[in-house]
Chains A and B, each alone.
Chain A
Amino acid sequence: MERNLTLPIDGATARELRVSDILFLTGTIFTARDEAHLLMLEAQESGKDIPFDPSQMALFHCGPVVSRQNGGWKVIAAGPTTSIRMELFEDKYLETFRPPIIIGKGGMGDRTQTALESVGAVYTHYTGGAGALAAKRIESVEGVEWLEELGMPEAAWLFKVKDFGPLLVTMDSAGGNLYKDLESAVAGNIKAIMERIDAT
């Protein structure tokens, strides 16, 4: 089902989302890759304030190209990065900061799946490399955190977006997982391929 959602969304709405839904988001999303995940978790543990509220936004696995223009920022390209790198700490991050929607590419592992179920969140897939398309749907940069320490790709950027998508839900809070379904189909194909190679 295609759904246009305006952030923030409530817990019930997030729990309704299912694998194969296609989302278009309007509102504020923030970027965080490996370093921003670690920094935010460490800050939280040592009792420091996080300068924005992730539970009201969508988390975007992205290291954008942003350029300074007329004293402000302009997003040049902002496609998703490979999400599986964040598998190391995404479960803890979800439980700590509770963003209802993750945007990334390539899917995540079992630990994240379990956390999505307990928190009531979804993982959505955005077309990898579609950096120019994504930038077109970003209306403005609302802020950036930890730019000095982390550099442009790893900093946390807050983007105001309109109709940001299409985002395909591939992991949901009810245990739905498109990658698992696909894995069994591919495993069947592999068997036939290996037999064919042996026959040559």
Chain B
Amino acid sequence: MGSMTIQEALLAALKQATTVLPQDVVNALQAARARETSSMGVAQLDAILENVAIARDGSIPMCQDTGIQTFFVEAGVHSPFLKDLKGWIGDAVIQATTTVPLRPNTVDPFTGVNPGDNSGRFMPVINWELVDGDNVVVSVLPKGGGSENMSALKMLAPGVGMVGIKKAVVEHVVSCRGWPCPPTILGVGIGGGADIAMKLGKKAVLREIGSQHADKAAAALERELLELINMTGVGPMGVGGETTCLAVHVEYAHRHPASLPLGILVQCWADRRARVRLNADGIAEVMS
């Protein structure tokens, strides 16, 4: 895409994330379709792939639940735009609600009132991370409610070790049945603390399918968990089949000796994401 202002690029990223499933996810769904042996599972994957094509060709949302707009910002400490960025992101979400359109999803938990534009207290969600340099990268993850409801935190006893982690993840995925719209992408956050494990897991969801963790042990756990989960037979949409999960992404932090927090972040097949880069000269581009 050509050069844009940051406001234009944020809007374009919200539209792209909502309407065009990233190619790595499409590839993974097609591979799942090719190896599926259950006819009911095949029917689910065919409907998903047809739906993805209709959404892409018509520039319409691939799912009616356009999610809670969740942003991850890698903010270069020398960027001249840091003070304005929060406002721009909030404005882009309000505007995208009309133009894409997005479903107005934010609701006041006390009154039930929906402001109608995806704004609200702490909305949209913005996670900030300071990095070197003068560039800013904004990742958007419109996170649907059905899969978010299936995310879980387990505060394990450290003595259960990696065996306990593997069992807890598999048991959790099975208990979710078809509710999170499998085949899913799992973000598994280990260590840190209750909040850190959940946040690491959610950030891990952002990674491309096919990528693996730089740490060998974490990468091995990703592969093993994926294989184990796909032995369960839950299958696409929980109607039975070979592929329950498209990818497992692990992220970890050091932990307290008494704690082994495990965050299991469940992302539905509609693994919607897009990234915007904002250079110090004010030129922005949508990256993926």
Contacts and interface: CB of A to CB of B under 8 A. Distances in A.
Interface of A: 20, 22, 62-65, 67, 76-79, 81-82, 84, 105-107, 125, 127-136, 151-153, 166, 168, 170, 178-179, 182, 185-186, 189-190, 192-194, 196-198, 200
A76 B166 CA distance: 40
Interface stretch (B125-133, B175-183, B207-215): B175-183
Contact of A128 (B40, B103, B146, B170): B146
B61 interface: yes
B167 interface: yes
A151 B104 contact: yes
Interface of B: 40, 43-44, 47-48, 50-52, 54-55, 58, 60-66, 101-105, 107, 114, 116, 144, 146, 149, 163, 166-167, 170-171, 174, 177-179, 181, 224, 228, 231-235, 237-240, 268-270
Given A166-B43, A182-B239, A197 B166 contact: yes
B232 A190 contact: yes
Contacts of B144: 129
A131 B58 CA distance: 12
A107 B146 contact: no
Contact of B231 (A182, A193, A198): A193
Given A125-B237, A192-B231, A200-B163, A132 B178 contact: no
Contacts of A106: 177-179, 237-238
Nearest to A83: B179
B40 A77 contact: no
A127 B104 CA distance: 22
A31 to B, nearest CB: 10
A127 B233 contact: no
A77 B61 contact: yes
A22 B46 CA distance: 15
A132 B55 contact: yes
